[in-house]
Amino acid sequence: MTPPTPADAPRPLVFWEHRLYPGSLSRLARVRADLAADLAGFDPDLVDTVVLCASELFANGVKYTDSGRAEGGEVIRSLSLTSADTLLFSVSDSGGGGGVPAVPHGRTDDEWGEAEGQRGLLLIENLTRRWGHLRLAPWADLGTRVWAEFDVDPSGVPGGLRPYVFTR
């Protein structure tokens, strides 16, 4: 799950405006609704999958970082169609979690059976093409961007999407 480096990352075909949310689980319904609205016209199964994964990633950002624990904590959502067959979703948190997202490996069947949580990243791993994370400032715990790529049927991309325009 190595994230593309900035030099490797393709310029998106379509880039939705970033959305900024207060770091509170009470905002999860708004996150879901905004994402469903932004993806209107895409295959409903894809939209449901992206919304489910986005819910998990947003909730993790709020639960495990200063996005949800510190006053003024926020989560930034980004969304882009990086190619005709790839949708990229990410959330960036406020840091302060002290770690990076990881699927808990090495649990026994009994431990998995008793675990009440920490299954969200396993869900992400199984519903996405690939996912990963990167520190926003590698020298400090100032935030982490967690991203996930989703397969898109190019014939199902709705018309009328505004292309990304890169200006310097």
Split at pLDDT 50, 70, 90, the class of 162 is confident
- Across the chain, mean pLDDT equals 85
3-state SS, one letter per residue, for the chain: CCCCCCCCCCCCCEEEEEEEEECCHHHHHHHHHHHHHHCCCCCHHHHHHHHHHHHHHHHHHHHHCHHHHCCCCEEEEEEEEEECCEEEEEEECCCCCCCCCCCCCCCCHHHHHHCCCCCHHHHHHHHCCEEEEEECCCCCCCCEEEEEEEECCHHHCCCCCCECCCCC
pLDDT value for 121: 82
Residue 140: pLDDT band (50, 70, 90) is: confident
Identify the CA nearest to 89 among candidates 123, 130, 140: 130
Condensed to tens digits (0 to 9), the pLDDT of residues 73-122 reads 999 999 999 998 999 999 999 988 877 776 666 666 666 566 556 677 88
Interval 13-44: pLDDT, tens: 888 999 999 999 999 999 999 999 999 999 99
Please give the share of the chain, as a percent, with pLDDT higher than 90: 51
